[in-house]
Amino acid sequence: MAEAPRPWRGVIEEYRQWLPVTPETPVVTLGEGGTPLVPSAWLSEVTGCSVWVKVEGSNPTGSFKDRGMTVAVSRAAQAGVKVVVCASTGNTSASAAAYAVRAGLSPVVLVPEGRIAAGKLAQAIVYGARLVQVQGNFDDCLKVARGLCERYPVVLVNSANEDGFRLAGQKTAAFEVVDSLGDAPDIHILPVGNAGNITAYWLGYQEYAAAGRSRRLPRMWGFQAEGAAPIVRGAQVSQPETVATAIRVGNPARWQDAVAALEESGGRIDAVPDDAILAAQAGLAARDGIFVEPASAVGVAGLLRAREAGLVDPGQTIVITVTGHGLKDVETALSAAGEVEKVVVPPDAEATARALGLD
C-alpha cells in the first residue's frame, strides 16, 4: 500500500533543525509556509528567463510575516511572557495578533495613525489586538515599541529584534525555493522596506549552500519605492511616501544587513516609482492571475525596469517574492483600476450575450 501523504506541518516542524527552537518550545503555528512557487509565463516571455513567483500571500494571515512570527511567538511563549508588541505598517500587526492570541498571549500593535490599509487594520482588530495609532510613521512606531520593551515586561516581535527569531523563520522561504527548484536561482528579487526579508533570504541561501543542499548562491536584487528609498539614496527619509504602504519605511532596522546581503551576493538595489508599481500589480493579476498588494509588486516592477535597461541576461532562473495578498489593500487596487464599466442586464441569456458582444 502506498504511504499516505503527510500534511504540511508548519515552518517549525518542517525545518526544526534549522531553527532556534528546543524540544521544550511550545510550537505556535497556523500551518504557515509551504507557499506556492508559480511559474510566470508573462515575465518569462518578457525577459527570456525562467521566472518564478513565490506567493507569500498564501500564508495564513496573508503575508510572509507568518514565517517569522511562528518562531518569535513560540519563543515568547516559552519565555513565559504575557504581552507581545510590534510596530507595523500593517502585515506584522495582523500576523503578531493572530499568533499571539493562538498562544494565549496579549498582542499590542503600534501603527502609524491613519496610514494603514483597511484590510490589515481589520485583521488586527478582529484578532483582538490592542491597537495603538502613533502620530508619526513606521520609524516612530518602532521607536515607541523598543521603548516599551526596555521599560516593561513585554517582548518585541519585530524582525528588528536582536534575538533573530523572526529572521530565522523567514529564511525558510529560501529553503523552500531550493527544495522546489533543486537548486538556488540565479537571481532572487524582493521588495525592501525594513529590510528584514532580504536579510533572512540571504541567510537561508547561505545555510543551505553550506550544508550542500544547493550548488550555488543567488544574486540578491532588492527594490524600494522611490518615495521610500533610504538604502538607494544612502540617507534616511524623514517623511517616506508611497502607495506601497508595507514598505513605507524611512530608516530600515536591517539596513546594514541588507547592504551586506547585496554586496556579498553580487546583487543590486534600485528604486521604482509608484506608477510602475501599480502597473506591475495590475499586470501580475491580469496576466498571471496573482493578486498582490502594491508593495509585493515592487519586485516585478524592478525586474521589468531592469530588463528595459539591459540588465537582465536571458536564460537565467529568477525568483520573485511577492510578500502579501492583494486583499490586504483593495482600496489602492480599485483606485488604480479607474472607472469600471457597469453592465446591467435583465435575467435573460440572450440579453446578456448582446451586452457582452457574443451575438
Angle 356-281-309 (CA atoms, 0-180°, nearest 5)?
Answer: 120
Are 75 and 85 in contact by the 8 Å Cβ rule? The answer is no
Burial of 273 (0-12, 13-18, 19+ CB in 10 A): middle
Rounded mean pLDDT for each run of 10 residues along the chain, 359 residues in total: 79 98 97 98 98 98 96 95 88 93 94 80 90 88 90 85 88 98 98 95 98 98 97 95 92 94 98 97 97 97 98 98 92 78 88 87
Distance of alpha carbon 347 from alpha carbon 206, whole angstroms:
60
Angle between helix 298-308 and helix 274-288 axes, rounded to 10 deg: 100
Phi, psi (deg, nearest 5) at residue 169: -70, -40
Cα–Cα distance, 251 to 171 (Å, whole number): 22
Return the number of other C-beta atoms located less than 10 Å from residue 348's C-beta.
Answer: 10
CA neighbor of 253 nearest in space, from 238, 231, 274: 231
Contact 119, 113 (CB under 8 A): no
Listed residue (282, 259, 322, 273) closest to 58, CA to CA: 322
| pTM of the complete model | 0.92
Lay out the sheet containing 155-156: strands in order across: 130-134, 106-112, 83-87, 155-156
Which of 49, 40, 38, 41 shows the shortest CA–CA distance to 307?
Answer: 49
Q: What is the pLDDT of residue 1?
A: 54
Residue 173's alpha-carbon distances to 36, 64, 106, 110, 199, in angstroms, are 10, 9, 27, 26, 12
